[in-house]
């Protein structure tokens, strides 16, 4: 199954014929990609399931409709198992950013977290999940973000990367994390859920 968000509206491409949510189900082969995007942008769809009989080939076909932009980021834990959040554009988020040319995904993930949060001593624990988000900038782009579970025991005061629009950087305990997720993105909830599932 692949879940792609347009803003916070999911396009779910699945090989399962079981209805697992309230969204309408369409056969992948019968849908027009531009039509789906148009309906989502006009708030005519709250989500959609695209049923596929050949998931990997249909996923490749789906990706061929847009330019894929790789990004990487981290869900960072401190020794108290609190989670590192950034606050940008009025929303809580996890640190992430574009993979630069010639850079590995792991290197990009660590660099972006360091730059956005002013944190050091990061350790990569394991890959968590890959999320997909469609946005519009000179055509349709798909941001493919590779998320990693990380840890840091850095004790110094963290500094938000103001030039990236980040105004706060803070570690949050479980209660504060739940509050932050209520004012976050669907993709970030997906990253958190994957982390909680272990």
Which tens digit of pLDDT belongs to each residue from 32-41? 988 999 999 8
pLDDT tens string 66-96: 899 999 999 999 999 999 999 999 999 999 9
Residue percentage of the chain with pLDDT more than 70: 100
179 pLDDT exceeds 90? Answer: yes
Rounded Cα gap, residues 37 and 31, in angstroms: 11
pLDDT at position 160: 97
Q: What average pLDDT does the segment 125-152 reach?
A: 95
- Please report the sign of the dihedral spanned by the C-alpha atoms of residue 103, residue 107, residue 112, residue 115: negative
Domain ranges of the chain: 2-63, 72-129+146-197
Question: Which residues make Cβ contacts (< 8 Å) with residue 175, sequence separation at least 6?
Answer: none
CATH 3.90.79.10 fits 72-129+146-197, yes or no: yes
97 pLDDT exceeds 90? Answer: yes
Whole-structure pTM value: 0.92
């Amino acid at each position: 199954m692949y879940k792609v968000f347009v803003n916070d509206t999911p396009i779910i491409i699945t090989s399962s014929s079981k209805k697992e949510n309230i969204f309408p189900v369409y056969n992948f082969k019968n849908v027009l990609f531009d039509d789906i995007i148009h309906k989502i942008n006009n708030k005519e769809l709250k989500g959609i399931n695209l049923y596929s009989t050949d998931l990997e080939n249909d996923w490749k076909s789906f990706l061929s409709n847009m330019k894929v932009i790789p990004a990487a980021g981290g869900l960072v834990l401190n020794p108290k198992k609190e989670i590192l959040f950034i606050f940008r554009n009025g929303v809580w988020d996890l640190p992430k950013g574009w993979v630069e040319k010639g850079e590995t995904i792991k290197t990009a993930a660590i660099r972006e977290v360091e730059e956005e949060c002013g944190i050091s001593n990061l350790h990569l624990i394991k890959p968590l999940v890959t999320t997909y988000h469609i946005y519009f900038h000179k055509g349709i782009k798909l941001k493919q973000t590779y998320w990693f579970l990380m840890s840091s025991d850095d004790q110094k005061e963290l500094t938000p990367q103001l030039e990236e629009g980040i105004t706060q950087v803070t570690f949050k305990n479980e209660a504060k994390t739940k509050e932050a997720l209520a004012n976050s993105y669907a993709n970030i909830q997906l990253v958190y859920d994957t982390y909680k599932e272990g």
